[in-house]
Structure 1
Amino acid sequence: MKGRQLLIEPLPTGGHAAALMVDGRLEDLLIDPDPSDPTPRPDAIFRAVPARPMKGMGGVMVDLGSGRTGFLRGPKLPAPGRPLLVQVLGSAEAGKAQPVSARPILKARHAILTPGAPGINIARSVRDADRRAALDSLGAAGMAGADPETGLILRTAAIDASDELIAGDIAALLAEWSALAATGEPGLLREAPGARAEALREWRAPGDPVREARSALADAGIWEDVDALREPEVSLGQGFLAIEPTRALVAVDVNTGGDTSPAAALKANLAAAAELPRQLRLRGLGGQVVIDFAPMPRAERPRVERTLTQALRADGIDTNVVGWTPLGHLELQRKRARRPLASALRT
């Protein structure tokens, strides 16, 4: 099927699985964890109580309530025992505290509220000068009377949205933040969005068909694709790449396979660079990523790196290309924005 399509399927024990298909290919995947799993999920907001700073680690452990802990890093750390609002930044490795931020943000389809980061900003994808000016005026009107230290970002989805929808999102976010900022006991204040809500908020564009059904993903063969993601190897035509997470890092190996042509290494490396962000996204992998490309001359590295950078730009998950090592590996630092697929799957 050409074009974009959203598929949403309820899971037997609760929650949903959501898939984004583009031209018949699986582009993104979200699966709610088992409801019995108490692990804080990315974007959840807590009222937390900090302990004493941990010397040498640049951060402090915070009590999230109900036996849960987080780790807050930063140059300025809060006073011990003084409650504050924190937001879970991403998934943590097994046995480690969840990384949290002391600057929560609230997202809606058309707008993002940024307490502590004042100003009105428009998504760079909005390039029409008249539309940018109109959105700036709409944002200013919506934020009139709000805390001057609270900022607003109007998202790409606001380009074609009505003024009423955008103003409604801004008002709802301000009301929610006002309720969150009230004093109270430590604990969970705002659940992370489920797979269904996040998919509709982040993926849906005007005109995109959405199919919600008990077997929506099964009918499209998505679960077979998910099974394939359990395996390390990904075909690149004659070559392949292998993605293997370890406790310390994600190791990626690029191989030319049966291709013995003079340009085999470059072809495999370019294909791997274009495909890797999608594979990391679908597998929910982040942290340190080390890529062992097929042997190639140094002169070809910039071309491969540009291809990877372009693919990462469209990926949507913060990833920093750190650079090449003396052994010829390329290192990335990627936000752990999601739980690894292996832990998200319930069977």
Structure 2
Amino acid sequence: MSQRRAYLDIAPGETRGVVTLDGRPEHLILARDEDDPRHEPGARIAARVRKVEPAFASAFVDLGEGLEGLMDYPPDRRPVEGQMLEVEVRAAPRPGKLAAVRGVGPAEAPVRLLSPGPSVADRLAHLTRSRETVTGAEARRRADEAEETALTEAHVLPGGGLVVIETTRALVAVDVDLGPRKGPDPKSLVRQLNLTAIAETARLLRLKGLGGLVVIDLAGRGHDGTALLNAARNAFAADNPGVAFGPVSRFGTLELTVPRRTRAVSEILLEPGGEPSDRTLAQKLVRRAESEAEGETGRVVKIEAGAAVARLAWPLIDRLAERMGARFDRVLEPDWPRDRFEVTVP
């Protein structure tokens, strides 16, 4: 039976939650201080209907301070422009896409946040059906591992073989490669590879926060479509409701749609070009400074960083100093590249 465990890593500026499935990361939840609570799934908002689009049975709703959401409505419950409604955020916004919301009932003006979505700890409890959460150094190690895995494209499968997951504007493409995997029965080998790849793809998509249209290019040919579809239904059961499958095509691809509910991890951690953002680097610096300070009680920790990262990291280091004591010597290095920083104990 599969086992899930929860890990909670808290640092100034950011909280990270990890769920592992049989020891491997399955979910990575990132919450930063600057996150807008009106964009978090589960948040309740008193919103105003700004525009109704009858042709698409949807409406644009004002969530406040220039933020908008998109709400679908049934034919017999068409809203009226200007109407106040209580809505719940169902999916976080993504680049080029508004937050998806659902109508809950009437609301009174003004437009405002009624209640935030569940906390990271609450989400971990929901995913694992347990309030048992590991914290401390082990949680930090698990979160670092989950981040690294979530940002990797090529993943080695248990027993050999490879899956490569790449995102495009239209879909998520998954390529299954036999690689050096060998066995006495090639047909059985390929079948087992594809079954393993489907299960791993489901876990990795949850970890990466990816969804929408997914196309899996299976290894080999002459597939047992029924067996593969049954395996896919089992692997993606945790993502329901909303998962839909197409048949295995004559080209050896399996197509499915998976609901998008959260932002992709890469969208949070990386710049559009694929490099870590200044905010991500600053958070990494702060965690390293905290770890050094914990391991060297009473000694000064020296922190050196370039201007872009220092601007974001120094206020977080102030908060760390308040909790651990003023033991941080900060040095601005204006000529350093943005991704360089050093944390040492002289």
TM-score (structure 1 length as normaliser):
0.69
Q: Note the C-alpha offset of 1:326.
A: 5.3
Q: Note the C-alpha offset of 1:51.
A: 2.6
- Structure 2 residue aligned with 1:64: 63
Tell whether 2:227 aligns with 1:303: yes
Secondary structure at 1:78 match in 2: coil
Secondary structure at 2:118 match in 1: coil
Closer, same or farther: CA 97–327 of 1 in aligned 2, 3 Å: same
Tell whether 2:272 aligns with 1:273: no
Closer, same or farther: CA 68–326 of 1 in aligned 2, 3 Å: farther
Partner deviation per Cα, 1:198-224 (whole Å, 9 max, x = no partner): 21344243xx742233x34224x4412
- Structure 2 residue aligned with 1:31: 30
Which has more radius of gyration?
2
- Structure 2 residue aligned with 1:320: 244
Q: Is the 8 A contact 1:92 1:336 kept in 2?
A: no
Tell whether 2:181 aligns with 1:292: no
Matched letter for residue 70 of structure 1: G
Secondary structure at 2:247 match in 1: strand
Secondary structure at 2:79 match in 1: coil
Matched letter for residue 11 of structure 1: A
Partner deviation per Cα, 1:25-72 (whole Å, 9 max, x = no partner): 323322214425576111111111113322543311111111100111
- Structure 2 residue aligned with 1:51: 50
Tell whether 2:336 aligns with 1:337: no
Secondary structure at 1:28 match in 2: strand
Matched letter for residue 111 of structure 2: P
Secondary structure at 2:149 match in 1: helix
- Structure 2 residue aligned with 1:190: 115
Secondary structure at 1:93 match in 2: coil
Q: Note the C-alpha offset of 1:10.
A: 0.7
TM-score (structure 2 length as normaliser):
0.69
Q: Note the C-alpha offset of 1:311.
A: 1.4
Q: Note the C-alpha offset of 1:270.
A: 0.8
- Structure 2 residue aligned with 1:255: 177
- Structure 2 residue aligned with 1:234: 155
Partner deviation per Cα, 1:224-257 (whole Å, 9 max, x = no partner): 2421221111111321111111111111111111
Q: Note the C-alpha offset of 1:343.
A: 2.3
Give matches, 1:81-120, under 5 Å.
81-103=82-104
In structure 2, what is the Cα distance between the partners aligned to 1:182 and 1:319? 31
| Higher normalized contact order (CA 8 Å, seq sep 6+, divided by chain length) | 1
More off after superposition, 71-80 vs 318-327: 318-327
User: Identity, % of aligned pairs?
Assistant: 30
Q: Is the 8 A contact 1:273 1:305 kept in 2?
A: no
- Structure 1 residue aligned with 2:313: none
- Structure 2 residue aligned with 1:171: none
Q: Is the 8 A contact 1:312 1:319 kept in 2?
A: yes
- Structure 1 residue aligned with 2:165: 243
Q: Is the 8 A contact 2:59 2:71 kept in 1?
A: yes
Secondary structure at 1:53 match in 2: strand
In structure 2, what is the Cα distance between the partners aligned to 1:24 and 1:259? 23
In structure 2, what is the Cα distance between the partners aligned to 1:97 and 1:78? 19
In structure 2, what is the Cα distance between the partners aligned to 1:249 and 1:93? 14
Secondary structure at 2:246 match in 1: strand
Secondary structure at 2:181 match in 1: coil
In structure 2, what is the Cα distance between the partners aligned to 1:200 and 1:251? 31
Secondary structure at 1:295 match in 2: coil
- Root mean square deviation of aligned Cα: 2.5
Q: Is the 8 A contact 1:317 1:337 kept in 2?
A: no
Structure 1's unaligned 5+ residue stretches are 105-180
Matched letter for residue 264 of structure 2: P
Q: Note the C-alpha offset of 1:186.
A: 1.1
In structure 1, what is the Cα distance between the partners aligned to 2:248 and 2:55? 28
Q: Is the 8 A contact 1:20 1:29 kept in 2?
A: yes
In structure 1, what is the Cα distance between the partners aligned to 2:38 and 2:175? 31
Closer, same or farther: CA 56–315 of 1 in aligned 2, 3 Å: closer
Q: Which has the higher helix share?
A: 2
Closer, same or farther: CA 322–103 of 1 in aligned 2, 3 Å: farther
Closer, same or farther: CA 56–35 of 1 in aligned 2, 3 Å: same
